[in-house]
Amino acid sequence: MAAVFHIPTLTVCLAATLIIVSGFLTLLWVHERDNRALGFWSLGFSAGALGMVLVSLRELAPPIVALGLGNGLGIYSIGLIWLGCLAFEGETRKGSGIIAAAGAVLWLCLFAFPFFAEDLGTRILVASILYAGYSFLCIPILLSGQRREPLPARLIALVAFGTHGAAYVIRFPLQLIEPVHLVAGHAPLWYGTMNFGFFVQGLVGALAVFAMVHERATRRYKRDSETDVLTSLSNRRAFMEAVAKARAGFGGSGPGAVLAVVDADHFKSINDTYGHAAGDLVLMQLGRFLSRELPDGVIVGRLGGEEFGIYLPAYIAMRHPQLLEDLRRGVSAIATDDLASLPGVTVSIGAVSLASGPLDFSRALASADKALYGSKKAGRNCLTWATADQDPGERLELQPESSMGEPVTSAPRSAA
C-alpha cells in the first residue's frame, strides 16, 4: 500500500504542471499587461514551478537549496496567488506585499537553524501552517467577489483553495500518527495520497484561474457590445432584446405595458451652435437622468442619435400613470442645473400603450415614432399617445397632456 505513490515522481509531475500553467499565464499577461491579477498569478505559478523543481532535486542539491529555497518559493507562490486574488477582485490591503512574502522569509530564517532543517516533523508543522494560512486568506476575498459578480469558475477556485488549506491542516496530525520516512522514494500511503491531491488541486486551481479570467472577459465584451458608449445605457439591439425578454416572461405579455420614444428637442441646433461636445454632454446628462429617475423594472436604452427608448411593464405603468409626463417636466430641471451654459433643453415623447399578446416591436416602435412626430408638430416639449393597433401611417391629432391609456389618434377623415 505504501508503495502506491512515488514521491519524487509526483513532485516532478507537479513541477511540470506548474511550469506549463505559468507559461500560459505569462502569455496571457503579455497580451494584457494592465491586468495585475494575471501578473501576480503568473509570478505565483512560476515561483511554485521553480520551487517544485528544486524540491524534486532533494537527492542531488544541498538541503538549503532543495528543501529550504524550494519550499520557500512554494510558500511565496501561494502568497503571490493571494495578491492575484486581491487584484482580481479590485481590493487593496495595507502591507499586502509584505504579508505575501512574510511566510517565505520566515521559512528561510527557520531553515538556517539546524534543529529545524533536520527535523521533518517540525518542518511539516510550519509548512502546513503557512500553506494553509495563505490558502484560507484567498477564500474571503473570492467570496466577496462572488457576491458582487457571480462567476461559476470562482466557485471552483473556492473549492480548490478550501481543500488545499484543509489538506494542510490535517497533514500535521497525520504526521504524528504515522511519521513520514522516505524509503526508495516511497512514503506512508496518506502522505503519497496527499501529495497526489496537491497535484490535482494545483491543476484545478490553475484551470479555475484561467476560467475566471475568461468568464470576466466574456462578460465584459458582452456588456460592451450591449452598452452605448456615450450614455452607458443599453444600445438599440440590447434594448430590443431586453424588451422581448420582458414580454416573454411570466405575465409580461398582458395589456397595459408602454413603449415610449424620447427625443431631445432642437438637438441639431445645439450641435451646430455649441459644437458636438455640447451635444454629447446633453445626451450624457439625459442618459444619467433617465437611469436615475426611472424605477426598477423599467427598461431604457439609446435608440440612436438623440432618441431614447423606454419600456414600462404593465404593473409599473398602472402604478405610475404620470411617469412619462413627470419625466418630461423633470428634464428642464436637470438642464438648468447641469447644463447652465446651454439653452434650456427639453424633450418630446411619443408613447404607445401595448395590447396583450405577442409584440410586433417594429410596428409598436413605428407607432411611438409617429406619436413623437405629433409632439414635434405640436411645438415640442410635450407627450403624445398612440395605440399599438393603430396603423403607423394614420394621422395623429395632439391632445395636450393626454392621460395614460387615452389614445391620441384618429383615422383620416373621408372626403365626403
2 domain residue, yes or no: no
Domain assignment of residue 28, yes or no: yes
User: Mean pLDDT across the stretch 44-67?
Assistant: 89
69-117 per-position pLDDT tens digit:
999 999 999 999 999 999 999 998 999 999 999 999 999 999 999 999 9
Q: What is the largest CA-CA distance in the chain?
A: 114
- What is the model's pLDDT at position 408? 41
The total number of structural domains in the chain stands at 2
Average pLDDT, the chain: 85
In contact, 99 and 79? CB cutoff 8 Å: yes
- Domain identity same for 247 and 374: yes
pLDDT given at position 28:
85
Residue 395 has pLDDT above 70, yes or no: no
Give yes or no for residue 2 having a pLDDT over 60: no
Residue 54 has pLDDT above 80, yes or no: yes
Q: Check whether residue 216 and residue 280 sit in a common domain.
A: no
Task: Among 275-279, 345-349, 393-397, name the one with the lowest average pLDDT.
Answer: 393-397
Is the same domain home to 218 and 257? no
Residue 52 lies in a domain: yes
Percent above pLDDT 70 for the chain: 88
Residue 402: pLDDT band by 50, 70, 90 thresholds?
Answer: very low
Q: What is the pLDDT of residue 405?
A: 38
- Give the end of a domain, one of 226, 253, 276: 226
Cell triple for 96: 499586502
Structural domain containing residue 20: 7-226
Give the domain CATH number at 219.
1.20.1070
- Tell me the average pLDDT across 172-193: 74
pLDDT score of 335: 56
Q: Are 85 and 37 in contact (CB under 8 A)?
A: yes
Predicted confidence band of residue 403 (pLDDT cuts 50, 70, 90): very low
Cβ atoms 387, 367 nearer than 8 A: yes
Q: Is residue 173 pLDDT above 60, yes or no?
A: yes
Whether residue 198 sits in one domain with residue 65:
yes
Average pLDDT over residues 331-336: 70
Confidence of residue 387 (pLDDT cuts 50, 70, 90): low
Model pLDDT, residue 407: 37
Residue 22 pLDDT level (bands cut at 50, 70, 90): confident
Looking up residue 319, the CATH number of its domain turns out to be 3.30.70.270
Is residue 414 domain-resident?
no
Q: Are 182 and 120 in contact (CB under 8 A)?
A: no
- Mean pLDDT value across residues 272-291: 89
Whole-structure pTM over 0.75, yes or no? no
Q: What are phi and psi of 179, to 5 degrees?
A: -55, 150
Beta bridge partners of 386: 352
Residue 370 · residue 362 · CB < 8 Å: no
By the 8 A CB rule, do 259 and 365 touch?
Answer: yes
Do 71 and 212 lie in one domain? The reply is yes
Question: Which amino acid type is present at position 174?
Answer: L
Domain boundary at 167, 191, 226, which? 226
